[in-house]
Chain A
Amino acid sequence: MGASLSEAGGQAGPAPAARQRWMSVLAKARLGELEEAWQGLDDKPAYDWLRLPEIGMVMVRARTGGTGGQFNLGQMTVTRCALRLASGEAGLGYVQGRAKRHAELAAVFDALLQDAARRPVLEQDVIAPLAAAHAARRDDRSRKANATKVNFFTLVRGENDQ
């Protein structure tokens, strides 16, 4: 399994920056959105497991004062898996929480996106809407927070212009 697992990293695949981005979008998506995207695929690929979904932890690190030396804040649950499509592409899923199906779907889309022929359509039909949905959730929270921003004004007293 070790040798085949390293395939999941991909060798001659897309530039890391592109894959980095879509993997991050897939990890932060909601499970319901991913299921919908999966159901929306006309040709659902078959795949074999390279690594069955496995629940574990990642130690979350932070920096003293936000900018200084590192320390261990605490752990978070993470689910990972790896699989290979019948067409040969290997996909990897690393997602927060105990979320086997989420990791599986993230890995399938990661594999599909490595197929240069399918990528443009998937970027447009899956990744862009998932990223937009995440941005919309963030924007909603941010606008509600912004409504609680204090507008200080100074009361001028003791002046008598009239």
Chain B
Amino acid sequence: MYVAVKGGEQAILNSHKLIAEERRGDTAVPELSLAQIKEQMQLAVDRVMTEGSLYDRDLAALAIKQAQGDLMEAIFLLRAYRTTLARFGESLPIETAGMALRRRISAAYKDLPGGQVLGPSYDYTHRLLDFALAAEEGVGAPEAESAESGIEAAIPRVTDILNHEGLIEEEIALDDAAPVGDLTREPLRFPAERDLRLQNLARGDEGFLLALGYSTQRGYGRNHPFAGEIRLGEVAVEFVPEELGFAIEIGEITVTECQMINQFAGSAERPPQFTRGYGLSFGHCERKTMAMALVDRALRARELDESIEYPAQDEEFVLYHSDNVEASGFVQHLKLPHYVDFQSELQLIRSLRKRHAQDRREAAE
């Protein structure tokens, strides 16, 4: 049976007009500017850039405005826009050791070279609603304290400190000429190596990764994590233009990095050593990078000869379900007309019920 699904054009056009009006809200209230979103909704912008997998604060702000603050919709918009642009190439790997730090904490060492720099964080707030922010006259221009001098350059990583004693596995670039897997160019295949896993996790949904990371802490893939180091700051992006043949800095991006230190008992080949999980995001996405580092470590079960028993260790389960653009698309496609499918289901259930009634009649006779 063929069911025509035409005739919705006018309804759709009017729905667009309605959403435009709803998005604007009460016109007695001033319209939100992109600059306001960019400057005052920075963490929303950061999440959209990270999961939208495109570093552009202006576009992320536009996406947030267009999506009425629905961040997943904004992420979708950014991903879609990305497909319209050509790629000039790949950057050199960013140097997080040379990051211009604005926050740097370690839960593993109290007194560590460079110290604990709290930076801008809600961690130490009381989580009480601040009604000063609701005041009619606004907050004015709050001023932060400023120290006499800046943070010293090139603060060593906590993992490098542990490396000196050989207590932690080293991350070594074995072959920099080896091709780097890229999910935007080729589909995910299993087993997936760490480059593909990290790319997937970096743009994966924060909520999904948070829940999975949490599950590892609660016993579903326990790996005894310590937040070895969390860093927030700016790094230069170096790129080699085809016309030049040498690298230039093309800009600076803000990133958050989490180095998770985990227990490992060792094996016949390896002496006992701490193992590592890694999290990295655009902007300030600390919860995301911590969750990412927990899940990255859990997904190393195969490589570290651990038994794979739990969802967070199962790479197909994690990597196939981490992307909120895909997940949202597949869940929400259920809203599309399934009239034909449903008609056939109706026919099927009617015939089943008819047979059921017949069987019962026959049994009774």
Chain A residues proximal to chain B, CB less than 8 Å: 5-6, 8-9, 16, 20, 23-24, 27-28, 54-78, 80, 82, 92, 94-98, 138-150, 152
Given known A65-B159, A66-B96, contact A94–B250 (CB-CB < 8 A): yes
Judge whether B251 is part of the interface by a CB distance below 8 angstroms.
yes
* Chain A interface, DSSP helix/strand/loop, else mixed: mixed
Inter-subunit contact B94/A27 (CB<8 Å) = no
| Cβ-defined partner of A145 (8 Å) among B148, B151, B184, B239 | B151
20 cross-chain CB contacts under 8 A: A16-B244, A16-B246, A20-B247, A24-B236, A27-B249, A60-B91, A63-B94, A64-B198, A65-B171, A66-B97, A68-B173, A71-B194, A73-B199, A74-B199, A78-B88, A80-B88, A82-B243, A94-B241, A142-B151, A149-B151
**Contacting residues of chain B (47-90) with chain A, CB-CB under 8 angstroms:** 49-50, 53-56, 58-59, 82, 85-90
Q: Which residue of B lies closest to A90 (CB)?
A: B243
Give the CA-CA distance A66 to B86 in the complex, in Å.
28
Inter-subunit contact A71/B111 (CB<8 Å) = no
Give the CA-CA distance A145 to B153 in the complex, in Å.
13
Residues of A within 8 A of B157 (CB): 66
Q: Residues 88-105 of chain B: 1 if any A CB is under 8 Å from the residue's CB, otherwise 0?
A: 111111101100111100
Judge whether B265 is part of the interface by a CB distance below 8 angstroms.
no
Given known A24-B248, A72-B195, A141-B100, contact A147–B173 (CB-CB < 8 A): no
How many Å from the CB of B177 to the closest CB on chain A? 10
Judge whether B13 is part of the interface by a CB distance below 8 angstroms.
no
Residues of B within 8 A of A73 (CB): 94, 199, 202, 255, 280, 282
Inter-subunit contact A57/B280 (CB<8 Å) = no
Inter-subunit contact A70/B86 (CB<8 Å) = no
How many Å from the CB of A161 to the closest CB on chain B? 25
Residues of B within 8 A of A61 (CB): 90-94, 180
Inter-subunit contact B248/A20 (CB<8 Å) = yes
Residues of A within 8 A of B259 (CB): 65-66
Inter-subunit contact A67/B172 (CB<8 Å) = yes
How many Å from the CB of B63 to the closest CB on chain A? 13
Given known A74-B53, A76-B251, A140-B146, contact A59–B85 (CB-CB < 8 A): no
